[in-house]
Amino acid sequence: MKSTLLDWFPALHWVRTYTRGSAKGDLTAAAVVTLLLIPQSMAYALLAGMPAVAGLYASVLPLVVYALMGSSTVLGPGPAALRSIMSVAAVSAVVPLGHADFVSATLALAALVGVFLLIMGALRLGFLAGFLSHPVLNGFVTASGLLIAMSQLPHVLGTPVASANAGDLHPLTLAVGAGAALGLWLGKHRLKPALRALGVPVGVADTVAKASPLWVMVLFIALSAQLGWAASGVAVVGAVPSGLPPFTLGTVLGVDLGTWQALLLPALLIAILTFVEQVSIAQSMAAKRRESIDINAEMRAMGGANLAAGLSGGFAVGASFSRTLVQAEAGARTPLVNVFTAGFLLLTALFFTPWLQALPLAVLAVTILMALGSLLDFGSFAKTWRYSRADFCAQALTFCVTLGVDLVSGLMAGVVASLMLHIWHSSRPHIATVGNVAGTEHYRNVLRHTVVTHPQILGLRPDESLFFANARFLEDHVAAAVTAQPGVRHVVLLCSAINDIDASGLQSLETIQQRLSDQGIALHLSEVKGPVMDRLQHTAFVRHLSGQVFLTHHQAVTTLLSR
């Protein structure tokens, strides 16, 4: 009981040894991350089709829950681009964007993602992440990045979403966007050297430069309010309510059954994707710090965070690579950094929202666009093409379906294609006919080496585990090989590359043995691996084997030749 509690809430471990030194590191890091999170969280809220303030809500309670349940010391959870676009895609397929029920369905989706992650963590279903191959993930993320870019362009151009007419461009909005882009670029690449040149200490210069999205935001709020941009037709955030995050359990429970059903598959996919992303970030950071993480605890923590987001007016959250890096460099020591960050965001939601009113949407859109670089990875297409045509097919299919149909279909197409290609590839394993390298006890492929063979003995080495996808191929291959070598009396399967044999593989071995017996040929095995033999030795197949099981293939050949 107590150990379960400690398992589920790793915070109970580190909180006992928490020191003043840790507090200093965590507080500093929280302050830096807050400067980054305020504009990002609102931008990702708008991307998800939610009001800007939902970004702040999604950064309070979820961060506290993650801090209590997570095992990574530096991971930065919260709103992130990929989940926001998946959220808006999934929800708008059920409820039209702008409809009164859109917000409640988004809350329900976040809660559902949380429940899936909690279940996956509790039942240790991390293997589900295995269904998403790297190329599929890459194709999906790159296509999503393009979709995000397309969704943000109208905000920068000042055109209505549906219009692509140059006459509808809004020059002032365009100028604001260009200015914000320039500001972000200068902040990222020029601010730190400039401050250092002015004699500012390196630590301060670094922090100031990191927070440049906030400075850009403050600058443009001031300009917008001063010059009355809203009246000139620049879209702004508008009135943002002040107060605590709302308790939205009632709203979520009020969502109708049909909506829940339609959100099931997207929620499962978002949950798996969130987990994959989070573990990859957490493992990278843990490796750098020589720490270890508990994968199941991570899943449960992100599940708790998403559930909290759904119940407190937020939307689906996940790990952010950029904020995690910033947080780690700024000196975060324990997950408590997230509690401090949540506190700062809460203060923002309580007291500073009136200041946000004049913020042009174009500035937030540019914030998103400038961060897309990490999602778009076209180089990986070329790399995959060079290494594996099959993987490239899966990647290209995922990319095209994600762009051309929708995100859920794209991801599903990728998963199905990966599985099909895997089964296709496994269904035709390499099976070498082997012979003796003269003067040694080694046996090698007759096609690659000069080897000695004997007409009465056929040595075959399947270079793959035997399972349902390739079991019948082995039957066919043995049948063909025996027909091609009419004098054969003994078939010896060299099993050194067989890591596992499932029930289908076993049944195929029985079939092969039966068919060989019908032809007066004995079946032998050699070099069977320990764990494989452990399972085989109690089977009728081995008990009634027409031949023998030999420790080495050389032993098999010399014994059979001497008969």
Q: Which of residues 255-314 bind a second copy (CB under 8 A)?
A: 276, 279-280, 283-284, 286-288, 290-292, 295
Q: Which stretch binds a second copy (CB under 8 A): 94-102, 166-174, 232-240, 509-517?
A: 509-517
* In contact, 427 and 469? CB cutoff 8 Å: yes
- CA–CA distance, 26 with 33 (Å, rounded to integer): 10
Asked if residues 74 and 336 have their Cβ atoms less than 8 Å apart, the reply is no
> Which residues between 170 and 189 bind a second copy (CB under 8 A)?
none
- Which of 522, 518, 519, 520 is CA-nearest to residue 544? 522
- CB 292, min distance to a second copy, A: 4
Which listed residue (508, 526, 527, 556) binds a second copy by CB under 8 A? 508
**DSSP code per residue over 270-331:** HHHHHHHHHHHHHHHHHHHHT----HHHHHHHHHHHHHHHHHTT----EE-HHHHHHHHHTT
Identified binder of a second copy from the candidate list 322, 357, 539, 555, rule CB under 8 A: 539
Of 104 and 278, the one with the shorter C-beta distance to a second copy is 278
Answer whether 315's CB lies under 8 Å from 59's CB.
no
423 sits near a second copy (criterion: CB under 8 A): yes
Q: Does 543 bind a second copy (CB under 8 A)?
A: no
Minimum distance from residue 134 beta carbon to a second copy (Å): 4
**Number of shown-chain residues binding a second copy (CB under 8 A):** 80
Closest CA to 259 of 375, 416, 99: 99
CA atoms of 155 and 363, how far apart (whole Å): 9
Check residue 71 for interaction with a second copy (CB under 8 A). no
* Options 96-104, 299-307, 361-369, 516-524: segment touching a second copy (CB under 8 A): 516-524
Rounded to a whole number of angstroms, the minimum distance from the CB of residue 281 to a second copy is: 12
399 by Cβ neighbours in 10 Å (0-12 / 13-18 / 19+) ranks as buried
Among 343, 341, 338, 296, residue whose Cα is nearest residue 73:
338
Written as one string, the DSSP assignment of 427-453 is TS--EEEEEE-TTSS-EEETTTS--B-
Name the one range near a second copy by CB under 8 A: 6-14, 145-153, 400-408, 510-518.
Answer: 510-518
Contact segment (CB under 8 A) with a second copy among 106-114, 189-197, 266-274, 501-509 equals: 501-509
Stretch that binds a second copy, among 69-77, 160-168, 314-322, 423-431 (CB under 8 A): 423-431
Candidates 169, 256, 500, 558; binder of a second copy (CB under 8 A) is 500
- 265, 354, 424, 558: residue in contact with a second copy (rule CB under 8 A): 424
Quote the CA–CA distance of 381 and 466 in Å, as a whole number: 31
Q: What is the DSSP letter of 484?
A: H
Asked whether 39 and 211 are in contact (CB, 8 A), the reply is no
Task: State how beta strands 77-78 and 457-462 pair.
Answer: unpaired
Q: Nearer Cβ to a second copy, position 188 or 383?
A: 383
Residue from 337, 411, 516, 557 that binds a second copy (CB under 8 A)?
A: 516
- The SS3 of residue 341 is helix
Cα–Cα distance, 88 to 54 (Å, whole number): 14
Chain residues 309-368 in contact with a second copy, contact rule CB under 8 A: none
Smallest gap from residue 290 Cβ to a second copy (A):
6
Q: Which of 261, 519, 537, 558 binds a second copy (CB under 8 A)?
A: 519
Q: Which is nearer to a second copy, 280 or 559 (CB)?
A: 280
Minimum Å distance from CB 47 to a second copy? 28
- Among residues 92, 357, 485, 511, the one that binds a second copy under rule CB under 8 A: 511
Chain positions 381 to 410 lying near a second copy, rule: CB under 8 A, are: 383-384, 386-388, 390-392, 395
Other beta carbons within 10 angstroms of residue 238's beta carbon come to: 13
Site string for a second copy, 102-131 (x = CB under 8 A): -------------------------x-xxx
The packing angle between helices 295-311 and 257-289, to 10°, is 140
Query: Smallest distance from the beta carbon of 87 to a second copy, in angstroms?
Result: 24
CA distance 300 to 219: 40
Q: How far is 98 from 85, CA to CA, in rounded Å? A: 15
Which among 87-95, 110-118, 223-231, 536-544 is the span making contact with a second copy, rule CB under 8 A?
536-544
- Looking only at residues 446 through 485 of this chain, which bind a second copy when binding is defined by CB under 8 A? 448, 463-465, 467-473, 475-476, 479-480, 483
What's the rounded Cα separation, in Å, for the pair 358 and 371?
Answer: 23
Find the part of the chain contacting a second copy (CB under 8 A) among 73-81, 113-121, 248-256, 424-432. Answer: 424-432
Q: Which C-beta is closer to a second copy: that of 118 or that of 286?
A: 286
Q: Please give the Cα distance from 350 to 353 (Å, whole number).
A: 7
User: Which range in 44-52, 213-221, 262-270, 535-543 contacts a second copy by CB under 8 A?
Assistant: 535-543
Interface pick for a second copy out of 166, 198, 530, 563 (rule CB under 8 A) = 530
In Å, how far from its chain's centre is CA 259?
25
Mapped to the 3 state alphabet, what secondary structure does 520-540 carry? CCEEEEECCCHHHHHHHCCCH
